[in-house]
């Protein structure tokens, strides 16, 4: 994912398929095929490092936001991180790595204890348990308050701001009232400077949801910003090749990915 300023971010997967079954995500429809090894995770970056080198560029950032839940494959994920930050290998700053989780609380706490200033992104998608449980089955194990408390602990241990990922679904979690509830929930768990909300318009695919209107998404964003919370309405990329957020899926089925 090229960006201005010679920034080249690579989005990597940690599993083939995903067991988390988030209602809006096509990857969850595959189920879990298997965990990737640390070498397979690193090879995704190595491929793009070679491609970019031909133009005198290099991989500058890595986001663990592809297929799978990184904390359900913790050892391989962490091993890949250590390869990426090793100055004798890729030499990427840990501050340029981001690990995204659906809210696996033990994984958040484990990563916070590693002593690495890695960025953490937490898929929240709702400020209350009934709504979140409807679209994210993991909420039955770790609810909104559990996840927000774990995020606060992560900030305290690492001194890194946490990003909350929030997919906007029309008529489900996109109202102004919901935005106010989200702001209040974030404020309860720490200074607003420690949080950033990444608002993601729903991409057509799993779940049969609808994308809210631009006006409704902008109103949601404004409510958060008025409460002093940094909030960004993301520009969607990759929809033309079904590679947008929540669209990653192997059309041929599980057998194609089982190696």
How far apart (Å, rounded) are the C-alpha atoms in residues 257 and 259?
Answer: 6
- Residue 230's closest CA among 191, 180, 196, 182? 196
Token reading at 13: 């997967």
How far apart (Å, rounded) are the C-alpha atoms in residues 196 and 162?
Answer: 6
Q: Is 218:175 a contact under the CB 8 Å cutoff? A: no
**Unique residue bearing structure tokens 């408390």:** 149
pLDDT at 4: 53
Q: Domains along the chain?
A: 8-101 (3.30.750), 122-237 (3.20.20.70)
pLDDT at 205: 76
pLDDT above 50 for 257: no
How far apart (Å, rounded) are the C-alpha atoms in residues 77 and 219?
Answer: 37
- Residue 116's closest CA among 93, 147, 91? 93
How far apart (Å, rounded) are the C-alpha atoms in residues 81 and 189?
Answer: 28
> pLDDT tens digit string along 147-181?
999 999 999 999 999 999 999 999 999 999 999 99
pLDDT at 236: 55
Which residues contact residue 240 at a Cβ distance below 8 angstroms, ignoring those fewer than 6 apart?
none
Residue 101 pairs with which residues in a beta bridge? 122
Which residues contact residue 208 at a Cβ distance below 8 angstroms, ignoring those fewer than 6 apart?
none
Token reading at 142: 């770790």
**Unique residue bearing structure tokens 């050892």:** 75
Q: Is 223:176 a contact under the CB 8 Å cutoff? A: yes
> pLDDT tens digit string along 11-44?
999 999 999 999 999 998 999 999 999 999 999 9
pLDDT above 60 for 210: yes
What average pLDDT does range 117-141 have in this prediction? 98
| Number of C-beta neighbours around residue 172 at 10 A | 21
**Unique residue bearing structure tokens 């998608």:** 125
What average pLDDT does range 117-138 have in this prediction? 98
> pLDDT tens digit string along 46-101?
999 999 998 889 999 999 999 999 999 999 999 999 999 999 999 999 999 999 99
**How many Cα neighbours within 13 Å face the side chain of 201?**
17
How far apart (Å, rounded) are the C-alpha atoms in residues 69 and 3?
Answer: 25
Q: Is 201:212 a contact under the CB 8 Å cutoff? A: yes
């Amino acid at each position: 994912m090229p960006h201005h300023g010679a920034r080249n971010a690579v989005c990597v997967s940690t599993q083939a398929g995903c067991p988390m079954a988030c209602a809006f995500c096509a990857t969850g429809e595959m189920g879990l095929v298997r965990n990737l090894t640390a070498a397979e995770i690193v090879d995704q970056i190595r491929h793009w490092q070679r491609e970019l080198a031909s133009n005198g560029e290099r991989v500058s950032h890595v986001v663990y936001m592809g297929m799978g839940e990184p904390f359900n494959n913790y050892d391989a994920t962490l091993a890949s991180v250590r390869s990426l930050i090793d100055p004798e290998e890729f030499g990427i700053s840990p501050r340029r790595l981001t690990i995204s989780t659906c809210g696996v609380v033990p994984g958040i706490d484990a990563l916070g204890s590693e002593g690495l200033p890695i960025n953490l992104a937490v898929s929240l998608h709702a400020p209350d348990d009934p709504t979140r449980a409807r679209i994210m089955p993991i909420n039955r194990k770790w609810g909104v308050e559990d996840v927000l408390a774990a995020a606060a602990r992560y900030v305290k241990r690492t001194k890194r701001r946490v990003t909350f990922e929030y997919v906007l679904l029309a008529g489900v979690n996109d109202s102004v009232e919901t935005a106010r509830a989200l702001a209040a929930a974030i404020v309860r768990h720490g200074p607003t400077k420690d949080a950033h909300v990444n608002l993601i318009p729903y991409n057509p695919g799993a779940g049969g949801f609808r994308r809210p209107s631009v006006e409704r998404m902008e109103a949601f964003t404004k409510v958060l910003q008025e409460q002093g919370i940094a909030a960004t309405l993301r520009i969607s990329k990759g929809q033309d090749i079904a590679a947008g957020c929540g669209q990653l899926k192997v059309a041929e089925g599980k057998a194609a990915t089982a190696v």
